[in-house]
Every structure is written in structure tokens, then in C-alpha cells.
Structure 1
Amino acid sequence: MKERFESASPSSLVQATPYVWRDPSAIPPRPWVYGRWFLRGTVACVVAPGGSGKSTMLAGTALALASGRDLLGKRVWDGPKRVWLWNLEDDMDELSRSIQAAAIHHALMPADIEGRLFVDSGMEGAGLCTAVEDDGQFKLLEPIYTALTAEIERRGIDVLIVDPFVSSHEVEENANSKIDKIAKAWGRVAKASNCVIVLVHHTSKAGSGEVTAMSARGAVALINAARSTLVLNRMSDDQAQELGVAAEERSRYVSVADDKHNRAPAEKADWYELVGVDLGNGVDGHPGDSIAVVMPWALPDPFDDVTAQHLEQVKRVIDSGEWRENAQASDWAGHAVAQVLGLNADDKAAKGRIKSILRQWIANGALKIERRKDGSRHDRPFVVVGRREEE
């Protein structure tokens, strides 16, 4: 072998291939399976903290794919899909509760998913281990990957969801080089079987801020190897105020966004509401289970029911007095808005809406910020009328 390389001319060892011009319309489109989230032949990640509605979202996603219906606001391309949901931490009763509650909510019948949904539970003996460390030696269990590929092909599986990823191997999760090998082995399964592999991952316990792809616990190699990374976030208190959602209601709302959109244009976050569904399984006077189900939710528009006439009334009120920009001030301009719209500026949700309205009117020039002296001769920012209709 060495002699062959030494005797070969340099040009025969490395050669550049001239590009052949192609008709763009003849290039096959990317094989999307579910919205712009799941792409056939690739690995996708879902990153979520505990209690974020992850299992509820996955149950709804599995039913949307298996039924071929737009249940969660994402298109299932080219008809119903075969889905394999492999959960390694919940038992079959718990999985069934989530699946059946979602089916009730979306009015699905057995025939709607017949033969297209496969569910296994690690708690019921269907364990999964794809890599181990034996006496300090890392080892991919290649026969497992081969068996996975064969079963996916035998069943015609389009999407395999493994939840959680950390329970599918016995390797130190902070070891980048090892996790990289595992992730790429999953990528080979996805490619060989023309399937989407969805690996569900927990977030790091450190910090409690907004979840991003980099919030995933352990080695970053998993995220780097994935083609898309969906992150789930509960609505924050600031978002609730901004959107006019009561503080006690905000835990019902979850956003999902692709934080690694390297194969599709960036999408805005999709919002979902968690609603309770009664399974009707109460026995002998004992209450039945009420199970959370996700449904698409549209962000409220702070300008709902706000008209041009309201703006003109606010301008007149602003023009007739001194109104501060500071929301903590007793003469805050938001009180003028509240007066016209019939809102309570002391209510957190209403105050968030008022701030949004003021921000927009200032941004479009209807109102503006002007610095002037207050009654104590301190320089302060005030809200004044900006563009006038006659201008």
C-alpha cells in the first residue's frame, strides 16, 4: 500500500471535480416530513426542561404524523406517516394517557392511525442501549444500530422518537468525542433507513432562563450533529405581562422554536396552550384522570379592538397634559392610554398590553419621546404627540 502511494503521481491521488450545471427546477426538493422541523434522512433534537410539556407535545406530534392531520399547526407532508415512539422513562399506562387524551381532544378514532403508530416503553422491558464504556473503553454497539435500521425498514417507519437520549446509552454524557460518535451513528441509521431520528434531550440544571440549543445538558456534540434543534420554553413572567396574560395562567403556554435552522429559513416560535382532557376513567366514585393536551395558540394582538379613533383620543389626552415615559411614574403616559381604552393600568396583564401599544405608537411616530424639565426642574423623558394627521 505504501509503495503504491509513493509511486503514484500527485494528480492521481487528489482530483477536483468540475461542477456540472443543473436546471434548478430539476433538483429534488428537500424531503421534509413534518413542517420545516423534521427532514428525512437526518437527526433532529428536542431540548426541553422538566415540566415544560415535552411528553405532551411528543404525544400530539406522534398522532399528527400518524393521522396525517395538521393537529398542531405543522403540515405532515405527503400524507400519514409511520411513527415509532420509544420512551425510556415512562410506563405504558402513562404513555397511553397522553396519547388517548390527545386522541379525544382531536376527535381521532382507531382507524385514523391504524397500523401507523408504534410505542415502546423502557419501563416495560423495551430498553435501548447503543453504546457502553467497558473498563474505560468506549464501544458503539453496532449490532444494535444494525437491528434498528432493519426494524425501521421492516416497519416502514418514517419518524423514530427516542425519549430521552441520555437513557439510550451508557456513556459519560459530557464526553464530546464519544457523544459525537453516538450522534453520528444515529445519523447513519437515519440515512440508511431514509427516516427521521428525533433524539429528545434534557436541559442543564444550571440556570433558569430561556432555553436555547446550547442549554442542552452534557456534550455539545449532540446538538452540533443534529440538523435541527427544537427548544421548548414555558411562557415567562415578562412575556405574560407583554402579552396581557394573567400571571396565574402563563404556565399553560409553551413556545417551540427551531434554534438550529441550518436547512430552512428561520421561523418564529410556535405557541401552544396546554388544556386538560378528562379520560373518563373514574371508578367507584374516585375521580378520573385529567391529562394535558397541546393545541396551537395564537399570540394575542395588543391592538385587538384598538382603532384609529382611539389613537386620536389618546393624542388629545397626551396633548392636554404632561405625561412621563417612566411606567413607575404617577403621570405615566400609559394612564392616558388606559383612560381611553377602559383598561386598568394597575393590572399586570393590562399594563403589559399598554406598554406594547405605547411602544408601537412611538415606533411609528404617532407619539414620540421628548426630554424636558419636570416640576422639580429635573430633566426627564416625556411622551408627546408625534406625527399629526395634517402633517
Structure 2
Amino acid sequence: MSNVNEYKDIVAFHPGYYIADVIEDMEISQAEFATRMGTTAKTLSQLINGQANISNDLAKKLSVMLGTSLDVWQNLQNTYDQKLIEIQLAKDIDAQAELVKEIDYKYFIDVVGLPTTRSIKDKVANLCKFFRVADLRIMLKEDFLVNFRTSSSCNKMKHIINSRAWIQTAMNLSKSIETKPYNAAKLKGYLPELRGMTLKEPEEFLPRMNEIFAECGIAFVLLPHLKNSGVNGAVKWVTEDRVVLAMNNRGLNADKFWFSLFHEIKHVLQQKIKMVFISTTVEEMMDINNNLEIEADKFATNYLISPADYKRFAPSKYTSDDEIVEFANTIGIHPGIVAGRLQHEGIIAQNRCSKLKEKYVIEIKHTA
């Protein structure tokens, strides 16, 4: 081990570096210096080679022997320790640089108000502070926030860190939302009203939706899509009495928005407190709890359009737009949801019903 550590323009001199100079100036051997100092040759050798730090006892002996203040040697040790920390921080930042490049930093400027900067060092510091982690690489650990199937591919790593960044953002923003204790019965009682909101515009239904969820113990967070995250929604329990339901709010057709919402509501009702559910477009990151996902899909499908109503409708590829609208009106739901169901099941072509499928664009600005 050397008594001088260097990284880029940072240099750390161990106190042993200066002791070696003193011995040379005194023109004596290390063994004699150790004797005069009242310590062993081994201890002095470790000190000179940067393998041991100056203890209070050694600092006292050096100060008496050389006629210096005690602070001289203690300050040399403290300065060295601080420089080592600087070196390690610089190395850590360089190691995180590639991860920062995979994260759309501008997203966090726009959505949560992080400071604008071009400095990689500042970006690392700002993101670590916002995500509440000591190192961005921690967000790649298997047990951070949500587990995914393991893979070493670069694309997988990119998706994992961004999906967890999106979820952590939702968790941070949820802290400002006041909720009552979770009440499953109350949530089930509000489901018909939530379904009826499909006929309203976002600016009308969102305030009421937030009230309902807060009343039921759910902190509801809408966020724009984060590039490379592939996350459309997530459910994470904070305590047994409080759960966060987060959804992607940008570029969603009405049918996808409402299907996703009721899908996540089912995950809340499943009340798997130790699990984190995410809805993702990235196949290799699909949730490993497949049965619960199937259950949530089935719930969303059947609650929006009941099996009995769907059977009565009996749609086919010849079903017209007018018939879709008429059916939607009879069951009190947005016609785009019906059209989306038919497209999803391959009954009608994807390029049909463009006029029926309303697209929600909800602009939301949060503060960190």
C-alpha cells in the first residue's frame, strides 16, 4: 500500500509520507527513529507505508519528539482521510456516469424541478438525492423496490433503472398526498362512480378521482412516461393502511387509461402488501406473479364491460361504429373502451374507430 493515493487531479498524502521525510532529514534509520519515538519498528513501517493511521498516542509521541503541536499530525491524518473520500466519490461518479446517460435527466427537470445542469457530477448528485440512494448502482440491485427476472443484457439494465426511477418518483410525490386509512369496502363501493367517469373529460373526473382514492387510503399519482422505463402503472403498499397507485398519464387513449386504472385497482384489492406490481410494455420485465396479473386483467375487462352485456352485444368484424356507440350508451361507458376491447380481441381492425378512441393528454407539474 502506498503512502500517496492519486486519482485524476486529486492527491492524498498519508502522514507516513511526511514522517519518511523527517527520518531522511534526521539521517537515521527507521529502527532508530522507532526507538526514539517509543514505538516498534513494525508500527513505524506500517505508518510510513500508509498501512496504518496515526493514533492519538502516536500523534502525541511525534509532537513531543519533534516539537510540533498535536494538531499538526491529527490534521495531516484528517486531511488524508478527507482526500480519500474525495477520491472514492470521484471514482463512484465516474462509475455512475454510464447509468446517468441511460436516464432522461430532462424528465426530472420538467416533472419534479431538479436543477438544470450539464455536469455529470451534478446530475449524479441530484438524482441520488432525489431517489434517496447513496449510489445509482444500488437501483440495479435485485431487491430494490421491485424484482425483475434477472438478465445481464444492457437493454435490461436500462429498463430496470428507469422503471425503478419512475416508481421511486411516484413514491416521492405520493408523500404530499394525504389519505385516510385503507378501506377495501369503501373502494368497492366507489367502483360504479369511477366507471361512470369514463364519460367525462380528465379535467372533470381527475379531481373527484383523487378525492375518492384518498378517502379509501390510496395515494393516486399521475406521471408522464419516462423514456426506457416501459412502465404504465404501479401499485406499492407503504403501510397496511396506505397504498400508492401510480399511472402513466401521457399519450393514453381513453380505453387504455381506464383498463390500466381498473387493472391497478384490482392489484390494490388483492392487498398483497409485501409485493410491488408494475404494468410494463417490456416483455422480459413482465411481473413474475402471472396469476395475479391475469386476475387483474380479467377484473378490468369484466368490470368495464360485463360478460352478460358483452354476450348480448355479440360483436363481429361487421359491427359498425354506430352500433359500438349505441351499445356503449346503453351500458353507460365511453365508446372508445368498447372499440378498444374489440381491437384487443382481434374482432375489428386496429385502424378502425379512430374517431371513437379519445386520447387523453394530461399535463401535470410536480415539485420535488
Q: TM-score range by the shorter chain?
A: under 0.3
Q: What TM-score does the superposition give when structure 2 sets the normalisation length?
A: 0.25
The structure with the greater share of residues assigned to strand is 1
Q: What TM-score does the superposition give when structure 1 sets the normalisation length?
A: 0.24
The structure with the greater share of residues assigned to helix is 2
Based on CA coordinates, which of the two structures has the bigger radius of gyration?
Answer: 2
